[in-house]
Amino acid sequence: MRIVVAPWLFRLRPWRGFDGFATHFVIFLRRGDAPEGLVTHELCHVWQMQHRPFRMPLSYLHTGYRRSAYERQAREAARRTAG
């Protein structure tokens, strides 16, 4: 698993409104000084995709971003680990 700081990625339309994005093995961040909560949130998504490689990403087509159970779980993980 790698973390890559890629500000250029977040200039592209699909990711403009986000500060982080996760794939199955890489977390992309807009900035190198991202808060720990964002990293935790994205790490949760990596875990989700590694355990549900098809269901997790495809679920966004069905529920959308705001109503996603995977987003709720990642937000809760960040909240629980906040200092």
Domains in the chain, number: 1
pLDDT value at residue 80: 96
Which residues, listed in sequence order, are joined to residue 15 by a DSSP beta bridge? Answer: none
pLDDT value at residue 15: 93
Q: Which domain holds residue 48?
A: 2-81
- What would the pLDDT profile of 32-81 be if each residue is shown by its tens digit? 999 999 999 999 999 999 999 999 999 999 999 889 999 999 999 999 99
| Upper half-sphere CA count for residue 56 (Cβ side, 13 Å) | 18
Q: 3-class DSSP state for residue 26? A: strand
State yes or no: pLDDT of 24 exceeds 90. yes
What is the rounded CA–CA span in Å between residue 18 and residue 34?
Answer: 12
State yes or no: pLDDT of 83 exceeds 90. no
Which residues, listed in sequence order, are joined to residue 26 by a DSSP beta bridge? Answer: 2
pLDDT value at residue 10: 97
